[in-house]
């Protein structure tokens, strides 16, 4: 599963014919292949955005507390990229992962 750079839509490949399809997001993703008509669903585990992980690391270095709402960079990113309700959570988790990784590196 990936995000189409041009449209911003979540995409996946059909497991039967391999055709690219749009995934509809909720707590699970749902697809209907336009080629073969197969319907699929599954849990969402989108890949982490490495730039958001790095943003979390940088915010830790700059003294931002482990509160995503205090990161102006993260809020700007979410405001411009996550238009639907519930789509910002993967971005927040990636930011927290970066913040935690940098925090743990400093404690060693």
- Please tell me whether residues 12 and 54 are part of one structural domain: no
- Please tell me whether residues 76 and 97 are part of one structural domain: yes
**Averaged pLDDT in 10-residue chunks for the chain of 108 residues:** 65 70 62 72 60 92 95 89 78 92 84
- Please tell me whether residues 59 and 35 are part of one structural domain: no
Q: What is the C-alpha separation between 15 and 12, in angstroms, rounded?
A: 9
In the chain, the number of structural domains is: 2
- Please tell me whether residues 103 and 54 are part of one structural domain: yes
Residues 6+ apart with CB under 8 A from 12: 1, 2, 20, 21, 23, 29, 31
- Please tell me whether residues 62 and 98 are part of one structural domain: yes
Provide the pLDDT for residue 88: 85
- Please tell me whether residues 74 and 103 are part of one structural domain: yes
Q: For residue 72, give its domain range.
A: 50-107
Provide the pLDDT for residue 68: 94
Provide the pLDDT for residue 87: 78
Provide the pLDDT for residue 48: 61
* pTM attached to this predicted model: 0.57
């Amino acid at each position: 599963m990936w995000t189409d750079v041009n449209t911003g839509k979540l995409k996946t490949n059909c497991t039967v014919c391999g055709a690219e399809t749009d995934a509809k997001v909720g707590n699970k993703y749902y697809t209907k292949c336009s080629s073969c008509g197969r319907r699929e669903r599954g849990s969402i585990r989108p890949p982490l955005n490495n730039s958001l992980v790095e943003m979390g690391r940088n915010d830790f270095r700059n003294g931002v507390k482990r509160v995503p709402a205090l990161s102006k960079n993260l809020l700007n990113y979410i405001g411009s990229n996550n238009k639907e309700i519930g789509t910002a959570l993967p971005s927040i988790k990636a930011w927290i992962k970066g913040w935690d990784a940098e925090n743990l590196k400093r404690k060693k």
